[in-house]
Structure 1
Amino acid sequence: MKSLPLILALAAAAVAPLTLTGCRQETAEVERTLGFDAWVPVYNKHIAGWLEKKKADAQVELDKTIAALASAPEDKKPSLEAQLEAARRDMAKLEFRQSLGDFFQFRTPADVPADLVWEKGLDEPEIGDPRAKKGGVIRRHFLDLSFPPTLRPFGPNSNHSFRGDLYDNIDLPLVTLHPTTTKVIPGVACEWATSTDGRTVYFRIDPEATYSDGEKVYAKDVLLDIYTRASDNVVNPYTKEFYRENYAQVITYGDDVLSVTLSEAKLYAAALAGTISPASPKFYREYGPDYADRYQWRFPPTTGAYEVRPEDIVKGASITQTRVKNWWAKDRKYYKYRFNPDKMVTTLVREDSKAFELFRAGELDTYLLTQPQFWYEKSEMPPVYDGYIERATVFNRYPRIPRGFYMNVTKAPLDNRDVRIGIHHAMNWQKVIEVVFRGDYSRLQSFNQGFGKFSDPSIRARPYSVQQAREAFRAAGYTEEGPDGILKKPGGEKLSVSITYPTIPLYDRILAILKEDAKACGFDLRLDGLESTVVYRKVMQKQHEMNFSGWNTTPPTPTYFQFLHSTFAFDDKGNPKPNTNNLFVWSRPDTDALSLTVRDALTEKELAEASKKLQHIIHDEAIFLPSFTTEFQRVGSWRWVRWPDSAETHYAPALSYEPHEGYCYWIDEDVQKETQEARRSGKTFPEVNRVVHPPETDQP
C-alpha cells in the first residue's frame, strides 16, 4: 500500500471482465491471453542481451579507470579508487545476474530450498481501533478539483492525484510496510523467507487470497503483472527501467510460491522484492497494443478492499468505490479494523469554496481544513459550535513532501546556475507563509527533508533577498534594467521565466504574491496556470520551464533515481524524455552514480552518505526551489465519522501523510441518525477540537 511501500509505487492492473458469447469469440479472446507465454522467452532474450551490453560497457569503464589510476597524481587517486570500487561492484552484479540464467523461470514446489526460515510478520502492533464498525457511506471530493484523466493504474496519464485512493493505498502487494514501525507485514503473501546471501526473497501466496471477482490468486499472476508493465504494449519507461535494473530473476514454484531475486542484497530487501501486486489473467485476456485505449475507463479485479464497478463511474462527476463483498483479508491482522465504509463516493467539485459549502451542509462527510482560511475563518461556524462537526489537528512523522519549483534546466535561461540561484532569492516564501498561511506553516528547507538519518538538516533554503537575487542575475549577464523594472541583457534578452501550475485559488494567491515581490528583484515570473490534467500532460512532455508541484514520497527511505538519473532525462536522440519524473531534465554522471547508490545501498551508512550528497547537489545547483511544509494536517468531520483512538493508532497511522490514507476511520450509522435528528430538533453537543500526536516509536 502506498502509505508504506518504498517509493517505487508500482500499481496493479485494471478492468471489469468482458462478457463473451459464442464459441468462436471465446476462442479468439483466449488466444489473446497467450501473449504472456509468447512474451516470456522474448523478454528473457532481451534481458540477456541487455546484460551483455551492460557488461561490455562496464568492462570499458573498468579498464579506463584502472588505466587512469595507474598514472594519476596522488591527489586524484582517492576519487579514482572510489570509481574503481564502484565499477568492480557493477561488474560483479552483472556477472551474478548472468550466472542466474533466464530472468523468468518456472520450477516445481520440490525446488524450493528446504532450509529457508519463513517469516509471517505478525508481531507488529495492530492498525486501527477494535471499536471500528463496518457499513455506511463516506462522501468526499477530488482534492485537486479535477476528474481523473483515466482509471488505468499505469500507462499514459495514470500518475494522477486520485490513483492513491484507487490503487496505491488499496491494492495489496506481496508484502508491505507497517505504517508506524516500517517493519514488513503480509499482503497477498502470508509468509516470506530471505536467502542467506540476502538477494533472493521467497513468497508464499496466502491460500485464501482472491481477487474481487472471486478468482484465486496464483504465483504466476505476479509475473503477469510485470508483463503488463514491461511489454511494448505500454509506454511506461520508469517502471520498465525499475524492473530491469532492480530484479535479477523471478521464479514460480508451482501455484503458491515464487521468488524474486534482486541484483544485489539491499536494505528492506523483502519490501522491495515484494512491492509487486498480482494481476488477474482473466482481466488481461484482452491486453495488447491497444491497451491504453481499451482499458482507459475499466477497473481491474483487485486484491484490496474496494472495487469500482462500471455503473459507478460517472465521467466528469463522481467515482464510487464499493467494499468487496467477503473480502478475503477482512479478518486478517493489520486489516480487520480498516477499510470500514461500505462505499466511498468521491465527487467532482470545481472550486474549494463550493466543496466547503457542501461539507458545511452535510453533503460531504469530511474536509481537510489545513489551509488557514478554512481553519480560522470558514470552519468557525454553527455546525462546529453545536458539536455536529468535529475538528482535529493531527501531527504525523511523514517525510516532508518535496513541494516547490522544479526547474527544467534544458530551457534557457534556466540552463544558467546563476539564474536559478537568483530565482531562489527572488521568491518571498516567508511572506507567503505569513500572509497566506498565517505563520502556521514553515519553510521547506530541502528536497527529501524529514527522512531522519537519511536527510541533512544543515541544508537551509535560500532566503528572499533583493540584493542577493540581483547579484546572481548580474553574474548571469542581466546587467540592465528596463522601464518596467525587469532586468535584461545588453542585447535585450529579458529576464523572464514561466511557472506552470494547477490553477486553484490557493496557488493563484501564492503565485500572485511571489510574482509581485520578484519584480523588486528585476525578475518577471510569468504565471502559466492551467487545469490540473493539462498541467500534468505538459510537464510529462517536458514542455514546462518551471513547474510548481509536490511529488509523493514515501518512508522509510528517500528516492532520487526517478528524479535525477539521466536515463529519465533524454531519449536516444538527445531529446527530453517524456513520461518520466525527471522534471529537471537533469543528467550528470555524479548524480547518476549517487542516485544508484541510494537505490542499491547495502547499508544505512552507505545510503545516508549518498542521500546527503545528493541533497547538497540539488541545493548547490539550485534546480529545486523549496516552498512550504507542515508537520500536521487539520481535519473537519461530521461527528458520525469516527477516528481511531487506540494504543497503537491515534486518529491515523503515524506515517500517513494525511489521516484518510490509513483507512482507519469508520461511519457510525447510529451516531449519524442521532446527529441528523439533533439538527432537526435543535439539540447540540459539546464542541470538539482535538490535537493528536502519534505514538512514540523508533524511526529511521
Structure 2
Amino acid sequence: MPHRPARAIATSRRLSEDARRRSFILSLGSLIVMMWGAAAAFAQTEGAATDAPVIVSHGYSNFGALKYGPGEAFAYVNADAPKGGEVSLWAQGGFDSFNIYTRKGVPAASTDLMYENLMISAADDPYGLYCYLCTTVEYPESLDWVVVNLRDDVTFSDGTPMTAEDLKFTIDLFLEQGIAEFRNVIEGYFTSIEVTGPHQIRFEFNEEAPKRDRMGLVGLWNPFSKAWFEETGARLDDSSNVPFLGTGPYVLDKADFGRSIVYAKDPDWWGADLPINIGRFNFDRVRIEYFADSAAAFEAFKAGEYTMRIEGSSKEWATSYGFPAVTNGYVKVATLPDGNIGTAQGFVFNLKRDTWQDPRVRDAVRMLFNFEWANDTLFYGLYERSFSFWGGSDLAAEGVPEGPERAVLEPLVAEGLLPETILTDPAVLPPVNEAGQNLPPRRVLREASALLAEAGWTPGADGLLRNAEGKTLDAVFLQFNPSFDRIVNPYIENLRQIGINAKLDRVDNAQYVERRRTGDWDLVNHSPGQDFEPSIGLKQWFGSETAEDSSRNIMALRDPAVDRLIDEVIAAQTLDDLKPRVRALDRVLRAQGFWVPQWEKAEHWVAYWDMYGHPDPLPPLALGTLDFWWHDAAGAERLRAAGALK
C-alpha cells in the first residue's frame, strides 16, 4: 500500500532509522461525520438498536470529503503499467526473522508485501481511509460502534478464504501478544469486538476511546490465518524463521538468511483485478540483497548486482554518481519531490540515565553539534536543518505563541507544569554555528562549559569533566553504519574539547538492534517525525505510559505537560482545533531538549538501471517504488544487448 502520512498507531516496530520501511500504520478516524459528495456515495439506514441514522460508506475521511469514490482507481498510478519483471534493492546488515511485530530478532526487509490492511490510504489524500479487505463500513454519527462488511472473495496465499473469524483472531492476537507500546495505548478502548456473520464484524467502543481515532482502530488490522497459527503454534511475540500466512500480493520465494530475500507475486492473489489495485504491485519479483556496509553495497549497484537504489548519503549523491553506467545513460539518477512531513532525524538522549536528566547538560551537548560546518563540508550543502517534529508543514511551532496556541499553553503554565518562558520566548530552534570550522566559536564553548559547571561538572586533572562523586561525564554514541563515522567523530571532537568523555561505539547490526532495544547507549539516531493528523499514536512516541519499554519513545520521555498536550491533541475534533494544539505540543517537545536535530530534505534521491518507469508526477505523499513503479522489459533488453547487464 502507499505510504501513509498519518502514521498514528503502529502495530509493528520501527526497524532502523536508516531505512524508512513501510509499517502497518494508519491514521485514526474522526468524530466528524463527513458530508460525502458524489465521489463518496453513502446510504443511510435505521439502526437496529437506536433511532440514530446509520451511515454506510466505502471509506471514512477525518477532515473533508473522501477524494475517491467506491470502485475508483487511484489517480496517480499508471493504469496501463506493464506487469512483470524484477526490481532489486539493498539492505544493510542481516536478518534472522520474518516477524516485524516483536522486538525479538532482526526482521527481514519488506515483509509487509505479504500482508494487507483492512482499510488503506491514498498517497494523495492525507486524511481518508478506504475499504480494502472490506466493501463498506456502517456507523452512527456518534461512532459508538462500527460494523465492517468484509469482502467474501479474499483468500490467504494458500488459497483458503479469509473470514471474520480470522480477523477476530488477529485482533485478539495483537491485544494479547502485540508490542507493549501498542497494547498500552489502545488497551480498554473496545467494549467488544464481535463476529456477527461469516464476513461481518462489529466493533463497539467505550467512552474513553477517542472519537477521532475510532475508524482507524477499525481499519489498521492486517488479518492472519487462524488455522495457520493454530497448526504451527507460532506466536506474535517471538521471532519466526518463516513468514506468517497473509493475504498480500507477494509470497516468500526464497531466503538466504542474512544475505538475500526474494518475494514473488502470488499468481493466485485474490486482489489482482480489484479497481483499487489498478496500476499497483506491478513487479513479478522483489529481491533484497544484504551487504555488510554501504560502500560494498554501492559497488554492487555499479556492477548491476541490484538495480534500484534509494540514496541516503549526501556524499555519495554529490560525488559518486559519475560512474560509466551513468555517463553512458544506462543508469538514471533522479531527484524526486517528497511532500511528507520531515523525518526529524536526530540524536536522542537516553533519559533513563541520570547523566541526561539535567536539561543543562543536554543543552550543552546540543550546542556542540555544528550542522553548518557539516552541511558545508560533509553534506555538500544538500540538507536543511531539522528543527521541528512537524517540519515542512503548518503544524510546526513558530515564533512566540499567539491566539489559540497560547490559550492551550496558559493553563499548563498556571499549574506550574511549564515555565512562563514558554509563552514569551520564540519556539526553540537548533543552535547556529559557523561553517568555516567544525569547532564552534569560543563564545559557544564558554556557554556550554558554564552550563555544565552549573550542573556540577568540573574539569579534573586530566581535563575530563567529573561530578562530585568523581564520575566522568560519558557520552557513548551507538552506531552500526560506518558512513556515520565521518559525522559522529567531528561531533565527538567538539564534546571532548570541553571535557566530555565522548566516544563512538560502532557495532554490527544485530548488536545495534539489541543494545538500542535494551537502552545500552547514551545517544543514538532516531527519526521521531510525525504526521498530518496526529492522535493516539503520539503516546507511543512521547507518552509517559510507553517510556519504560518502547521502540518509539526510546528516549524514555516522561513529562506531565507533554502528556496533557497529547490528550489535548487527541481530543481535537476539527482542523481548527487540531493545528494550534499540535503547534503547542511541538513547541514543548522542542523545549524539552531530548533531541539533537540532524538534517532533512524535501526530496527523494533515486538511482536505477534504466529499466523502470514511474508515474509523472508522483503523488505528494509516497515514492512508491514497490507500489506503483513498473518494469520496462524493452529497457532491460536494451541494457542486456549493450552488455551493461547480464
What TM-score do you get using the length of structure 1 for normalisation?
0.74
1:379, CA displacement in angstroms? 1.1
1:497 maps to which residue? 475
Which of 490, 498, 503 aligns to 1:526? It is 503
1:639, CA displacement in angstroms? 0.8
1:223 maps to which residue? 168
2:559 maps to which residue? 588
CA distance in 2, matches of 1:453, 1:159: 36
Alpha-carbon contact 2:389-2:529 (below 8 Å) kept:
no
Aligned 1:156-171 pairs, distance under 5 A:
156-157=103-104, 162=108, 165-167=110-112, 171=115
2:75 maps to which residue? 126
Q: Deviations over 1:261-308 (max 9, x none)?
A: 344453364334211122211211146586655x61111222221111
CA distance in 1, matches of 2:188, 2:479: 32
2:445 maps to which residue? 466
Does 2:637 match 1:660? no
CA distance in 2, matches of 1:348, 1:474: 47
1:256, CA displacement in angstroms? 1.5
Query: Residue 527 and residue 370 in structure 1: after superposition, are their counterparts in 2 closer, same or farther (change >3 A)?
Result: closer
Query: Residue 173 and residue 609 in structure 1: after superposition, are their counterparts in 2 closer, same or farther (change >3 A)?
Result: same
Residues paired across the two proteins, number: 559
Aligned partner letter, 1:494? T
Alpha-carbon contact 1:564-1:591 (below 8 Å) kept:
yes
Which of 376, 385, 388 aligns to 1:443? It is 385
Aligned partner letter, 2:573? L
State the secondary structure of the residue aligned to 1:261.
strand
CA distance in 1, matches of 2:114, 2:574: 30
2:405 maps to which residue? none
CA distance in 2, matches of 1:245, 1:448: 29
1:526, CA displacement in angstroms? 1.8
1:215, CA displacement in angstroms? 1.6
Alpha-carbon contact 1:264-1:600 (below 8 Å) kept:
no
Does 2:187 match 1:247? no
1:345 maps to which residue? 287
Alpha-carbon contact 2:388-2:586 (below 8 Å) kept:
yes
1:308 maps to which residue? 252
1:612, CA displacement in angstroms? 2.6
Query: Residue 149 and residue 633 in structure 1: after superposition, are their counterparts in 2 closer, same or farther (change >3 A)?
Result: same
Q: Deviations over 1:445-499 (max 9, x none)?
A: 023434x343324442233432332232122122436544x43346543332112
CA distance in 2, matches of 1:610, 1:553: 14
CA distance in 1, matches of 2:273, 2:600: 37
Aligned partner letter, 1:280? S
Q: Which moved more, 1:238-247 or 1:441-450?
A: 238-247
Q: Deviations over 1:219-252 (max 9, x none)?
A: 2222211222222xx4621222233144343222
Query: Residue 147 and residue 289 in structure 1: after superposition, are their counterparts in 2 closer, same or farther (change >3 A)?
Result: closer
1:155 maps to which residue? 102
1:386 maps to which residue? 328
1:519, CA displacement in angstroms? 2.8
Query: Residue 286 and residue 581 in structure 1: after superposition, are their counterparts in 2 closer, same or farther (change >3 A)?
Result: farther
Which of 636, 643, 646 aligns to 1:672? It is 636
1:454 maps to which residue? 395
Does 2:461 match 1:488? no
Query: Residue 335 and residue 9 in structure 1: after superposition, are their counterparts in 2 closer, same or farther (change >3 A)?
Result: farther
Alpha-carbon contact 1:6-1:271 (below 8 Å) kept:
no
1:276 maps to which residue? 221
2:277 maps to which residue? 335
Aligned partner letter, 1:320? V
State the secondary structure of the residue aligned to 2:246.
coil
1:425 maps to which residue? 367
Tell me which structure has the larger Cα radius of gyration.
1
CA distance in 2, matches of 1:158, 1:200: 37
Alpha-carbon contact 2:342-2:600 (below 8 Å) kept:
yes
Alpha-carbon contact 1:174-1:187 (below 8 Å) kept:
yes
1:444, CA displacement in angstroms? 0.5
2:546 maps to which residue? 568
CA distance in 2, matches of 1:290, 1:203: 26
Query: Residue 653 and residue 261 in structure 1: after superposition, are their counterparts in 2 closer, same or farther (change >3 A)?
Result: farther
Structure number having the greater helix percentage: 1
CA distance in 2, matches of 1:626, 1:267: 30
CA distance in 2, matches of 1:141, 1:528: 24
Which of 575, 580, 597 aligns to 1:626? It is 597
CA distance in 2, matches of 1:153, 1:490: 44
Q: Deviations over 1:371-424 (max 9, x none)?
A: 233223221122111111111101111111131122122213111111011111
State the secondary structure of the residue aligned to 1:629.
coil
CA distance in 2, matches of 1:456, 1:546: 25
1:555, CA displacement in angstroms? 4.5
Does 2:514 match 1:514? no
Aligned 1:45-64 pairs, distance under 5 A:
none
CA distance in 1, matches of 2:274, 2:160: 19
CA distance in 2, matches of 1:539, 1:246: 30
RMSD: 2.9
Does 2:158 match 1:213? yes
Gaps in structure 2 of 5+ consecutive residues: 14-30, 32-46, 60-67, 400-426, 434-443
CA distance in 1, matches of 2:97, 2:152: 32
Q: Deviations over 1:622-679 (max 9, x none)?
A: 112211111111111111111222xxxx2x43212x5526x21111222211221134
CA distance in 2, matches of 1:605, 1:158: 43
1:67 maps to which residue? none
